[in-house]
Each structure stands twice: as C-alpha cells, then as structure tokens.
Structure 1
Amino acid sequence: MKLLAFAASSSSKSINQKLVSYAASLVVDAKVELLDINDYEMPLYSEDREAELGELPQARAFYEKLGQADAVMISFAEHNGHYTAAYKNLFDWTSRIDMKVYQGKPMVIMATSPGPGGASSVLAAAKASAPFFAADIRAAISVPNFYDCYDEATGALQDAALIDQLQTAAVQLLK
C-alpha cells in the first residue's frame, strides 16, 4: 500500500508534521511518502490569476500525488479556527483541476495543537467538507495538548489512549 501523508501546514516546526509522520509509521506494510506542502507553493488563488496563469504545475503535481496514493493521511494545523492559508491556497488551486480533489481515497484526518482544543475546529470543518471533494474519511482524530503527550526524543506519542486511536485508524485505511 502506498500511503501519502502530510501536514496542512507550512511551518518548518510543524507539530502536525510530527503527528502525521508518527501516525503514518503505524500503518503496517505501507510505503509512506511524506510531503511538504511548501514544495507546492503558488500565488494566492483568484479567478483573475487563474485566467492569467492557467493550471499551475504545482497544483497538477499535488493532484497527481493524491491520485497515485492508495490512501492519504492529513494532519491539519489550525489558524484562528480554520485551515492554514498555505493549505487552503494549495487546495483551491488543485480543486480547479478537479473538484474531487481526494479522488475517492480512504483517508485518516487529524489535527493537533499545543492547547486543549486539539485544533478541533479545523478538523470538524475538514470532516464536514470531505464528502464534497471525494474523500473517504475512515477516521478523524484530534490530539490536544501536543507537547504534553509527544516525546521529542523518540518521535512518538506517549498517551496510550491516543496511540490506540491512531492504531485503530491505521487499520481502517487497510479495509
């Protein structure tokens, strides 16, 4: 199984990148490809820019990466209760290629934050909109208080309940 995993964050210190990397490592027998959305940076989307520039190669490359995967994992960073501008822009450009951005792929979505909310607002938004973009959501997991449950030295979560949730979600991708 080819698993595409990425954080919907452009931060070089992204805790969501750490979370999705760890979660992807729990998928048994998967060949994991970790993406950095910074590799797909584009000008801010607008109809005017699209008319001027046409389809951008970064959007096409991202769309094709999604299409080549058997399953997808995304960890959403939350900026003021919403998607990061970097991810929203990438998504907007990609959706102009095909509104079914996720191409029917089985997905596990997650989000984390340093605080007790666990980026649950952006996770709820992602889960609610996913069916409109052809995502087959198998699990959605919020991880609150990231720094309290993640061990930087080992690169792993230390909370047994969260580990169990992620392992269960990993199994759901294989079904």
Structure 2
Amino acid sequence: MKILTFGTSNSKNSINKKLAFYAAQQIHNADISLIDINDFEMPIYSEDREKKSGIPQLAHDFYNAIGEANSIVMSFAEYNGSYTSAYKNLFDWTSRIDRKIFQNKPVLMLSTSPGSKGAQSVLAAAKASAPFFAANVIAAISLPNFYDNVDAKTGVVTNETFNQSLFEAIDKL
C-alpha cells in the first residue's frame, strides 16, 4: 500500500510532519512517500496570476502525488486557529486543477501542537470541509502537548489514548 505522508507546516522541524511519519510507519507493509511541502512552494494564489501564467507545475506534481497514493496520512499545524499559509496556498493552487483534490482516497487526518488543544480547531475545519474536496476521512485524531507525548530520541508517541485511536484508524485503511 502506497501512503502519501506530510505535515502541513513549512517548518524544517515540523512536529506535524514527524507525527504524520510516525503514524504512517505504524501501517504494516506500507510504501511511505514522505513529502515536505517546502518542495511545493509557489507564488501566493490569485486569479490574476492563474490567468497570466496558468497553474504552476508544482501544483500538478502535488495533485499527481495524491493520485499515485492508495491512502494519505497528513497532520495539520495550526497557526492562529487555522491552516498554515504554506499549506493553504498549496491547497488553493491544487484545487484549481480539480476541486476533488483528494481523489476519493482514504485520508487519516492528524494534528498536534505544543499546547493542550493539539491544533483541534484546524483539524475540525479540515474534517468538516473534506467531503467537498473528495477526501474519505477515516479518522481525525489530535495529539495534545506534543513534547510531553513523544519521545524526543525515538519519535515514538507515548500517549496510549492517541495510539489506540491511531491503530483503530489504521485498521480502516
């Protein structure tokens, strides 16, 4: 099973990218494609830019990466209660190719933050909008207090409640 995995932050040390990768590693016999959204940086989307220059190749590359996967594991970073601008821009450009960005793939949505809310606001927004973008959300799981719940040396999540929810979700893939 080919799993496309990414965090929605452009931070080089993204805790959400780490969480998404951890989750994907729990899937038996997975062929994991871990991408960095920094590799898909494009000008800020605008209708004028699209009319002038078309849709950037990087948006097509991201859309094709989704298409080549059997499932998607993504983890949302939350900036000021919403999506990161890096992810939102990638999402906006890619949606111009096809509004059904997720192409009816099973999607495991995660989120984490250093705080006690675990980026629940952005996770809830992403889950609520998912049907409009052809995402078959199998689960949406938040991990609060990342640094208290992940072993810094191994990257292993130590929060048993999260892990139980994760393994239940993986069984649905």
1:104 is aligned to 104
The residue type equivalent to 1:111 in the other structure is S
2:13 is aligned to 13
1:159 is aligned to 159
Give the Cα–Cα distance (whole angstroms) in 1 for the partners of residues 7 and 74 of structure 2: 6
Give the Cα–Cα distance (whole angstroms) in 2 for the partners of residues 142 and 50 of structure 1: 35
- Moved beyond 3 Å, runs of 4+: none
Q: Does 1:81 align with 2:81?
A: yes
Structure 1 residues 58-77: aligned runs within 5 Å: 58-77=58-77
- How far did 1:170 drift? 1.5
The residue type equivalent to 1:127 in the other structure is K
Give the Cα–Cα distance (whole angstroms) in 2 for the partners of residues 100 and 85 of structure 1: 20
What RMSD over aligned residues (CA atoms) do the two structures have, in Å? 0.6
Q: TM-score, normalised by structure 1?
A: 0.97
1:114 is aligned to 114
1:54 is aligned to 54
Structure 2: gaps (5+ residues): none
Give the Cα–Cα distance (whole angstroms) in 1 for the partners of residues 149 and 46 of structure 2: 40
Give the Cα–Cα distance (whole angstroms) in 1 for the partners of residues 38 and 159 of structure 2: 30
Give the Cα–Cα distance (whole angstroms) in 1 for the partners of residues 164 and 18 of structure 2: 17
Give the Cα–Cα distance (whole angstroms) in 1 for the partners of residues 170 and 33 of structure 2: 15
Give the Cα–Cα distance (whole angstroms) in 1 for the partners of residues 15 and 48 of structure 2: 34
When the two structures are aligned, how many residues end up with a matched partner? 173
Give the Cα–Cα distance (whole angstroms) in 1 for the partners of residues 122 and 110 of structure 2: 9
- How far did 1:162 drift? 1.2
1:90 is aligned to 90
1:33-67 superposed Cα distances (whole Å, 9 cap, x missing partner)? 10100000000000011111101100000000000
Give the Cα–Cα distance (whole angstroms) in 2 for the partners of residues 128 and 86 of structure 1: 20
Identity of aligned residues (%): 55
Give the Cα–Cα distance (whole angstroms) in 1 for the partners of residues 100 and 135 of structure 2: 8
Give the Cα–Cα distance (whole angstroms) in 1 for the partners of residues 113 and 11 of structure 2: 13
Give the Cα–Cα distance (whole angstroms) in 1 for the partners of residues 156 and 18 of structure 2: 9
2:150 is aligned to 150
Give the Cα–Cα distance (whole angstroms) in 1 for the partners of residues 77 and 92 of structure 2: 17
- How far did 1:110 drift? 0.6
- How far did 1:142 drift? 0.6
